[in-house]
Chains A and B, each alone.
Chain A
């Protein structure tokens, strides 16, 4: 039976409640919200003069009203040491979302830690140190001293290459410019750490090297381009679920204005179904290609465009490179780059060839090319906005596939223009500001394999949970645990000794192959089970935080509550770590090295912002951003005039391209040669297992469910990770809805819950990624591309029933997720 909160009344926001600008913590869209706080002993009333909305709340409010909030938008939190009421609700005046919330963002208030209402009591409040066989709470001073004494010993006795760092690089949540700068300054300026990786991939690298090498930064448009375009070309993305209000507030109006949509995805997503409802099925073309064959499709579309003469010749002549090959294929460039003619020598693919490879009719590919590029009857060019995400980023042959897609946008002049753009959709918001990472190298080190090979002695982890979100996770977990346990055993054996004896014991265990693990996070994560020191971080709105969204819209999301317990902003934790390193190194007699750790006397996150982002963007300050409100300003910020920050609506509007750093500012085409499965082991795995295990996201969960795992509304709906299966496959295997199943292959095993899905193809299942109750990464092989980009999406396995439905899974609904209007 469905979870109900049994709430029949909520406190009313009084007219004089404090109002704070909030950008949603969660996805890339960065919807605007308003947070209202007021003292616990006060309440607003139903009379218009007694409440924030100025309306009579003793009357029913109607569709799309501003004057209502759901129970999930309410909580009681601490502010300046006092308990206060909190409402966080979507901002009707924000251009991004116009008052729309989503199933993720509209639970922000409920997902705050509260000692009064009992929400999110999993949040870490104090540093924890592995001591006496358990994690014991302790002071910052004590915990940090242990971290830096071990770290300093290891990097001075060995080298900085023995320190492995996993660190988030995103905005929103607990990321953002302040926090990426804090960790970036520590590891890339004070130190030069090259054995590092990012939260969602096993190396420190771009997810979209090729578009950058071609000269085109991946976030180049404005969301309004979806309402100005003729065609939306979506690849490997499911925006209705994962960029919800970008879809609802920008793409849907585009469709309702008459835009058509081409969706490339092996799965019939909810975006396809909903778009058919909004625009009529005749205006939606879904190319349900065979998994991993996107590049062949793009090449055939490009070939059609070129052969039909549908290119934008002026754009190609003025803005793209003309002289054949510009960059040769080499170990850092998985494809050559150059002029259109040069690329066509490799890309040329007939409709028939592509139809054969992709498993879709040639006529549909032809139709896609027409919808994307065929000029209007009056001869004017067709506008097309191209968007893509993990389907190809985490897909087969990342570099060439993304290059092949960007080729289409370039050939048709759809970059830097109204109704155009060729953009990543994004996962988190962005918030990257760090010193140069050039020392990391390209290709970067494959960190998971580095650790698996027994290398590295200290592992600092900043808000990453590789247990849930890496590939080859089963092996990674086994080795990481074994190595961390060696250090735990050493700590246990050294009980009762002095601090020096403890450090000696830890270093000896490291030298014997152990790994000392420091985990900075907001909760005690799964990988945190291997940690020896756990440092509690806070999230945005417990601190001020700046980030930008998928159209580069920069906002300040304001602090409205205290960090939980003794937790702190990541940037201030990094600063404290740096100061402690300086102190310890000086004590050890390494004065010159200690000097490298100066410059962290930050008291607040604003100090970190001024030390980092503001130095590169001198116009941008907290006060100015605060004044720009929830609409903020689109980066890059180019000035400050009449009290307003001046931004940039679209990149490359002048037809020059610089992301590759070339002086000629000409964009390059990619010679995207199709070569079947690029990553090692994929072809063999496909041949030997029945099911393709597609790795997907769902709107209800934010990322790896780090907060949602303790949200009853979410867990009641999906107590186990869903595995969408064709009902006939289920009958075949004698599976009932909600039965627990195992997915097995040579890489490992994972578990989930069978969810009958009539739109699923036979022998293809879609499993939700990153679940604490079953990690899809366990069964993904270690295959990566030349630049260490993982191919999470391509994984095959066999399926076996583990048990009948549990009481929880038997109690949920298994109806189709597609709306029935």
Chain B
């Protein structure tokens, strides 16, 4: 039954390394009134990032992505059956954060029942149902990345519907 694919085991090391490197990097800044005004949007402005092309996707095989920046890891999935919120010609392409909203462990994808599963404390989320927590300890459902597809089949992420683990603003 251990047929699950790790999203990307290697990146965990990367993350650990990253943790060391961040301390004390930014100096205190004072905002001018103009800057404060420029930033006074009601919502965080999310970038539009190209994630992949439809041709890159294999049904039920997770593709590693990041959004809105490379520190926020996710998966892009072509589920094989249309789902609510799915994009593409078959309405079956979705993308989710893979950082567990409980304590931020990295989750693995189970192709068997199209869920993301956390090795930390066993929370799991349904990729066919908007990332609803099937069972677990998190107090929100899994952040889903909002997608669009252009004429060339390029898939873009444009937004997120929940706060991503490990950041108090979805755009850092």
Chain B residues within an 8 Å CB radius of A817: 124, 134-135
Chain B residues within an 8 Å CB radius of A107: 139
Chain B residues within an 8 Å CB radius of A717: 132-133
Chain B residues within an 8 Å CB radius of A815: 113, 115, 124, 126, 134
Q: State which of B15, B24, B123, B124 has its C-beta within 8 Å of the C-beta of A48.
A: B24
Most chain-A CB neighbours within 10 Å: which of B15, B84, B165?
A: B165
B40 at interface by CB-CB < 8 Å: no
B162 at interface by CB-CB < 8 Å: yes
Q: State which of A47, A62, A813, A821 has its C-beta within 8 Å of the C-beta of B19.
A: A62
Chain B residues within an 8 Å CB radius of A69: 168
Known contacts A58-B172, A821-B117; decide if A71 and B162 are in contact (CB<8 Å).
yes
Most chain-A CB neighbours within 10 Å: which of B2, B4, B121?
A: B121
A812 at interface by CB-CB < 8 Å: yes
Known contacts A4-B161, A47-B28; decide if A72 and B172 are in contact (CB<8 Å).
no
Which residues of chain B from 142 to 171 have any CB-CB distance to chain A below 8 Å in the complex? 142, 144, 160-163, 165-171
Give the complex CA separation of A820 and B6 in angstroms.
12
Interface string of B71-83 (1 = CB under 8 A from A): 1100000000000
Which residues of chain B from 15 to 49 have any CB-CB distance to chain A below 8 Å in the complex? 15-16, 18-19, 22-29, 43-44, 46
From A7-15, A155-163, A352-360, A660-668, the one touching the partner chain is: A7-15
A1 at interface by CB-CB < 8 Å: yes
Give the complex CA separation of A811 and B161 in angstroms.
18
Chain B residues within an 8 Å CB radius of A99: 103
Interface string of A23-66 (1 = CB under 8 A from B): 00000000000000000000000111110000111111111110
Known contacts A47-B28, A59-B22, A60-B172; decide if A70 and B139 are in contact (CB<8 Å).
yes
- Contact: A4 with B168, CB < 8 Å? no
Most chain-A CB neighbours within 10 Å: which of B136, B138, B166?
A: B166
A684 at interface by CB-CB < 8 Å: no
Chain B residues within an 8 Å CB radius of A821: 2, 4, 108, 110, 117, 119, 122
Chain A residues within an 8 Å CB radius of B169: 8-10
Known contacts A10-B168, A70-B163, A103-B138; decide if A820 and B16 are in contact (CB<8 Å).
no
- Contact: B132 with A812, CB < 8 Å? yes
Give the complex CA separation of A651 and B106 in angstroms.
41
Interface string of A274-297 (1 = CB under 8 A from B): 100100000000000000000000
Which residues of chain B from 88 to 107 have any CB-CB distance to chain A below 8 Å in the complex? 101-106
Which residues of chain A from 715 to 729 have any CB-CB distance to chain B below 8 Å in the complex? 716-717
Give the complex CA separation of A72 and B102 in angstroms.
11
- Contact: B163 with A62, CB < 8 Å? no
Chain A residues within an 8 Å CB radius of B138: 70, 103
Chain B residues within an 8 Å CB radius of A819: 117-118, 122-124, 135
B62 at interface by CB-CB < 8 Å: no
Give the complex CA separation of A7 and B108 in angstroms.
25
- Contact: A820 with B131, CB < 8 Å? no
Interface string of B38-71 (1 = CB under 8 A from A): 0000011010000000000000000000000001
Chain B residues within an 8 Å CB radius of A58: 26, 172
- Contact: A63 with B122, CB < 8 Å? no
Number of interface residues of A (CB under 8 A): 61
- Contact: B104 with A62, CB < 8 Å? yes
Q: State which of B108, B115, B131 has its C-beta within 8 Å of the C-beta of A2.
A: B131
Give the complex CA separation of A155 and B85 in angstroms.
64
Known contacts A70-B140, A101-B137; decide if A4 and B130 are in contact (CB<8 Å).
yes
- Contact: A47 with B44, CB < 8 Å? no
Give the complex CA separation of A50 and B31 in angstroms.
13
CB distance from B163 to the nearest CB of A (A): 5
Give the complex CA separation of A99 and B165 in angstroms.
15
Residue of A nearest to B109 (CB): A820
CB distance from A503 to the nearest CB of B (A): 48
- Contact: A56 with B26, CB < 8 Å? yes
- Contact: B139 with A6, CB < 8 Å? no
Give the complex CA separation of A110 and B162 in angstroms.
15
- Contact: B168 with A68, CB < 8 Å? yes
Known contacts A2-B132, A813-B129; decide if A8 and B16 are in contact (CB<8 Å).
no
A447 at interface by CB-CB < 8 Å: no
- Contact: A62 with B85, CB < 8 Å? no
- Contact: B166 with A61, CB < 8 Å? yes
Give the complex CA separation of A7 and B22 in angstroms.
25
- Contact: B140 with A713, CB < 8 Å? yes
Chain A residues within an 8 Å CB radius of B133: 2, 717
Chain B residues within an 8 Å CB radius of A136: none
Chain B residues within an 8 Å CB radius of A439: none
- Contact: A813 with B104, CB < 8 Å? no
Give the complex CA separation of A61 and B115 in angstroms.
24
- Contact: A68 with B132, CB < 8 Å? no
A244 at interface by CB-CB < 8 Å: yes
- Contact: A277 with B139, CB < 8 Å? no
Give the complex CA separation of A543 and B117 in angstroms.
39
CB distance from A736 to the nearest CB of B (A): 16
- Contact: B134 with A813, CB < 8 Å? yes
Known contacts A62-B15, A102-B137, A103-B137; decide if A56 and B24 are in contact (CB<8 Å).
yes
Give the complex CA separation of A618 and B115 in angstroms.
55
Chain B residues within an 8 Å CB radius of A103: 136-139
Chain B residues within an 8 Å CB radius of A713: 139-141
- Contact: B166 with A72, CB < 8 Å? no
Give the complex CA separation of A620 and B99 in angstroms.
43
Residue of A nearest to B165 (CB): A68
CB distance from B83 to the nearest CB of A (A): 9
Give the complex CA separation of A470 and B26 in angstroms.
59
Chain B residues within an 8 Å CB radius of A820: 1, 4, 110, 112-113, 115, 117, 124
CB distance from B12 to the nearest CB of A (A): 8
A679 at interface by CB-CB < 8 Å: no
CB distance from A601 to the nearest CB of B (A): 42
Known contacts A59-B172, A821-B117; decide if A10 and B163 are in contact (CB<8 Å).
yes
Interface string of A62-83 (1 = CB under 8 A from B): 1111001111110000000000
CB distance from B132 to the nearest CB of A (A): 4
- Contact: A6 with B161, CB < 8 Å? yes
- Contact: B137 with A49, CB < 8 Å? no
CB distance from B165 to the nearest CB of A (A): 7
CB distance from B24 to the nearest CB of A (A): 7
Chain A residues within an 8 Å CB radius of B28: 47, 49-50
CB distance from B140 to the nearest CB of A (A): 6
- Contact: A57 with B130, CB < 8 Å? no
Chain A residues within an 8 Å CB radius of B19: 62
Chain A residues within an 8 Å CB radius of B103: 63-64, 99-100
- Contact: A8 with B163, CB < 8 Å? yes
Chain A residues within an 8 Å CB radius of B29: 47
Q: State which of A4, A57, A60, A716 has its C-beta within 8 Å of the C-beta of B162.
A: A4
Closest 3 CB pairs of A and B: A2-B132, A2-B130, A60-B71
Given A8-B171, A10-B168, A59-B25, 4 more A-B residue pairs with CB atoms under 8 Å apart are A4-B161, A60-B18, A71-B139, A811-B129
- Between A and B, 16 residue pairs with Cβ closer than 8 Å are A1-B130, A2-B132, A2-B142, A60-B22, A61-B167, A68-B104, A68-B166, A70-B101, A70-B163, A71-B163, A100-B137, A713-B140, A713-B141, A813-B126, A819-B135, A820-B113
